[in-house]
């Protein structure tokens, strides 16, 4: 992927833990993002380059609420 190549060259300390596809569907994006965040709780950045952003944001908020409680 072009992003991975450029990010690696420009920011050598960046670590891409996973790349997922959600087919621009909010529901799928929600579950994919939630699974990723549960598997990699150290994640501090998400790159979303298409539709499904609402699902991603919902997953981030849900995971934040669970980590606070």
pLDDT, tens digit, for every residue of 13-34?
888 888 888 989 999 999 999 9
Q: Determine the Cα–Cα distance for residues 8 and 16; give it in Å rounded to an integer.
A: 9
Q: How sure is the predictor about 1, in pLDDT bands with cuts at 50, 70 and 90?
A: low
Q: Are 9 and 31 in contact (CB under 8 A)?
A: no
Q: What is the DSSP letter of 44?
A: -
| pLDDT per residue as tens digits for the range 52-61 | 999 999 999 9
For tokens 């994006």, the residue is 29
Longest dimension (CA), the chain: 39
**Separation between Cα atoms, residue 18 and residue 37, nearest integer Å:** 10
């Amino acid at each position: 992927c072009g992003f991975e190549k450029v990010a690696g060259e420009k920011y050598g300390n960046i670590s891409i833990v996973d790349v997922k596809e959600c087919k621009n569907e909010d529901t799928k994006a929600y579950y994919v993002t939630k699974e990723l965040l549960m598997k990699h709780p150290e994640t501090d950045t998400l790159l979303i380059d298409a539709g499904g952003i609402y699902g991603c944001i919902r997953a981030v908020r849900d995971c934040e609420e669970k980590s606070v409680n």
